[in-house]
Structure 1
Amino acid sequence: MAHRLLVRRIWSLSAKDIRCLPASSAAASSSSFATSSLQTAATRASFLSPSYALPRALPHTSCRGVSFNVQDHEDFTDRVIKSELPVLVDFHAQWCGPCKILGPRLEKAIAKHKGRVAMAKVDIDDHTDLAIEYGVSAVPTVIAIRGGDVVDHFVGIKDDDELDSFVGKVLGQ
Structure 2
Amino acid sequence: MPPTALRGGAEWPTGQVRQPIRDAGARGSCQSAGRAAGPFIQLSGGGGQSAQGGGAASGSWVCAVTSVPGKMAQRLALQRLLSLPTRGLLAPHGRALGTSAGRRSTFNVQDGSDFQDRVVNSPKPVVVDFHAQWCGPCKILGPRLEKLVAKLEGKVLMAKVDIDDHTDLAIEYEVSAVPTVLAMKNGDVVDKFVGVKDEDQLEAFLKKLIGA
TM-score bracket, normalised by the shorter chain, equals 0.5 to 0.7
C-alpha RMSD over aligned residues:
1.5
| 2:101–2:153 CA contact under 8 A, matched in 1 | no
Q: In the alignment, does 2:143 pair up with 1:97?
A: no
Q: In the alignment, does 2:171 pair up with 1:121?
A: no
**Structure 1 residues 100 and 149: alpha-carbon distance in aligned structure 2, compared to 1, 3 A threshold:** same
**TM-score of the superposition, structure 1-length normalised?**
0.64
In structure 2, C-alpha distance between the alignment counterparts of 1:134 and 1:121, rounded to whole Å: 14
Give the secondary structure class of the aligned counterpart of 2:137. helix
Q: In the alignment, does 2:197 pair up with 1:146?
A: no
For 1:13-92, list aligned pairs within 5 A. 62-63=100-101, 65-92=104-131
Corresponding residue for 1:160? Answer: 199
In structure 1, C-alpha distance between the alignment counterparts of 2:185 and 2:130, rounded to whole Å: 16
How far did 1:63 drift?
Answer: 2.4
| 2:101–2:154 CA contact under 8 A, matched in 1 | no
2:100 counterpart letter in structure 1: S
**TM-score of the superposition, structure 2-length normalised?**
0.52
In structure 1, C-alpha distance between the alignment counterparts of 2:101 and 2:171, rounded to whole Å: 33
1:139 counterpart letter in structure 2: V
How far did 1:113 drift?
Answer: 1.2
How far did 1:61 drift?
Answer: 6.9
How far did 1:96 drift?
Answer: 0.3
In structure 2, C-alpha distance between the alignment counterparts of 1:111 and 1:73, rounded to whole Å: 24
**Structure 1 residues 82 and 127: alpha-carbon distance in aligned structure 2, compared to 1, 3 A threshold:** same
- Summarize deviations over 1:7-47 as a string: whole Å, max 9, x none: xxxxxxxxxxxxxxxxxxxxxxxxxxxxxxxxxxxxxxxxx
2:145 counterpart letter in structure 1: L
Give the secondary structure class of the aligned counterpart of 1:143. strand
How far did 1:66 drift?
Answer: 2.2
Question: Rg larger in 1 or in 2?
Answer: 1
Moved over 2 A (4+): 60-64
- Summarize deviations over 1:102-141 as a string: whole Å, max 9, x none: 0110011111211100000000011010001001100000
How far did 1:82 drift?
Answer: 0.5
